[in-house]
């Protein structure tokens, strides 16, 4: 029997249900819920690589680093190191949840986390226009000191104070691709591509260095699905289905979209919100255009039903 490989990008709601449930322990319970549903898929013969978001978690780590710097003069943590820390923390939790849920379900498979770097290009236009706000608010004086001493890009944020902004370039290459492939070939469930990957740039001689940026997790996971020739890309998020005319009176939930329809809706520009659903649809368009056959968007509790064609939004060539 040939392998069926799925890349599953899990959204923020698989770790933080709402503002009142943000502790590490509560994130573990949320991750376990999602792990249960992924194990149902594994039970049906899927080999999976799971990528996850990390925006709030990196935010917490940055805030801790900022307080530690103020209170105890500890050196400020570089953003890409916070990204790596979040991959480690979330990866640990997800892997353990998967191991425990497989144990309970009688599935005899191993799971492992691969800390992953994603190459971005310094020529990416995003570096000309850093626009993603990260970390806490600062006074103008604090912001100017960071700009001078650490080279941060800082902007005034709608009268609320000053914030650091970083670029969000497109992912170009998954550095640990061969390692992920080897694990999948060995039948091991993989957690990787956390937060779209730790952003790195390639020096002239091919060596790598970390860079302060953030990568869209849906684009990062789409790139992995393309590189693995995955049979399916699953994007798990907070909605059961995708709608056109989202939030408008004529809103309509979709069971299915073709690639051509997805491109058409994207062009119309009114259906998918920028920064939430639009990048997911674009990530799926990229996967299908690169030869992928099908993709699904749904919420964690409906993953298996969506794979069986009972719900979710399916996007095919
Ligand atoms: P994630 O952490 O999973 O990436 P996001 O908040 O970035 O979550 O994206 C999912 C959200 O996108 C949904 O909760 C929904 O509110 C919003 N959304 C925007 N446009 C649409 C649409 N056309 N159909 C369904 N949901 C949409
Ligand atoms: Mg998102």
How many Cα atoms are found within 13 Å in the side-chain-facing hemisphere of 212? Answer: 19
pLDDT at 240: 98
- Closest Cα to atom 6, ligand 1: which residue? 276
The 10s digit of each residue's pLDDT in 193-207 is 999 999 999 999 999
Q: Which of 197, 221, 280, 299 is catalytic?
A: 280
> Does residue 12 have its Cβ closer than 6 Å to ligand 1?
yes
Closest CA to 226 of 168, 263, 171: 171
Mean pLDDT over each residue of the chain, to the nearest integer: 96
Question: Is the distance from CB of 11 to CB of 236 less than 8 angstroms?
Answer: yes
- For range 31-57, the mean pLDDT: 97
The 10s digit of each residue's pLDDT in 143-156 is 999 999 989 999 99
**Dist. CA 315–CA 121, nearest whole Å:** 29
> Does residue 246 have its Cβ closer than 6 Å to ligand 1?
yes
The 10s digit of each residue's pLDDT in 156-173 is 987 889 999 999 999 999
Give the residues across from 253 on adjacent strands.
243
Pick 34 or 135 by higher pLDDT: 34
Q: Which of 132, 144, 181, 263 is catalytic?
A: 132
CA 166 to chain centre: 17
Binning pLDDT at 50, 70 and 90, where does residue 19 land?
A: confident
pLDDT at 243: 98
The 10s digit of each residue's pLDDT in 217-275 is 999 999 999 999 999 999 999 999 999 999 999 999 999 999 999 999 999 999 999 98
Examine the pLDDT at 128 and tell me if it is beyond 70: yes
CATH code for 5-116+176-316? 3.40.1160.10
> Does residue 52 have its Cβ closer than 6 Å to ligand 1?
no
């Amino acid at each position: 029997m040939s392998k069926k490989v799925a890349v599953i990008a899990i959204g923020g709601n698989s770790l933080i249900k709402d503002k009142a449930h943000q502790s590490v322990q509560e994130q573990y319970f949320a991750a376990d819920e999602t792990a249960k549903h992924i194990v149902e898929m594994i039970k049906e013969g899927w080999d999976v690589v799971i990528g996850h978001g990390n925006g709030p978690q990196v935010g917490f780590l940055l805030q801790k680093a900022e307080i530690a710097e103020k209170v105890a003069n500890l050196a400020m943590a570089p953003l890409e190191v916070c990204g790596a820390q979040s991959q480690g923390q979330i990866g640990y939790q997800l892997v353990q949840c998967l191991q425990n849920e497989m144990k309970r379900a009688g599935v005899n498979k191993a799971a492992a986390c691969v800390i992953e770097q994603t190459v971005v290009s310094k020529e990416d236009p995003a570096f000309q226009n850093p626009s993603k706000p990260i970390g806490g608010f600062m006074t103008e004086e604090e912001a100017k000191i960071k700009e001078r001493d650490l080279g941060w890009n800082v902007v005034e944020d709608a009268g609320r104070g000053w914030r650091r902004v970083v670029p969000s370039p497109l992912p170009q290459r998954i550095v640990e691709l061969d390692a992920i492939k080897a694990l999948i070939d060995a039948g091991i469930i993989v957690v990787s591509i956390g937060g779209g990957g730790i952003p790195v740039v390639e020096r002239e001689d091919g060596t790598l260095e970390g860079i302060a940026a953030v990568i869209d997790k849906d684009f990062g996971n789409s790139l992995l699905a393309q590189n693995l020739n995955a049979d399916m890309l699953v994007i798990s998020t907070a909605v059961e289905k995708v709608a056109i005319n989202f939030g408008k009176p004529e809103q309509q939930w979709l069971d299915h979209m073709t690639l051509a329809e997805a491109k058409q809706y994207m062009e119309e520009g009114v259906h998918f919100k920028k920064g939430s659903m639009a990048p997911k649809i674009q990530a799926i368009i990229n996967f299908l255009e690169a030869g992928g056959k099908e993709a699904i968007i749904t919420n964690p509790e409906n993953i298996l039903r969506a794979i069986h064609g009972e719900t979710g939004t399916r996007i095919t060539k």
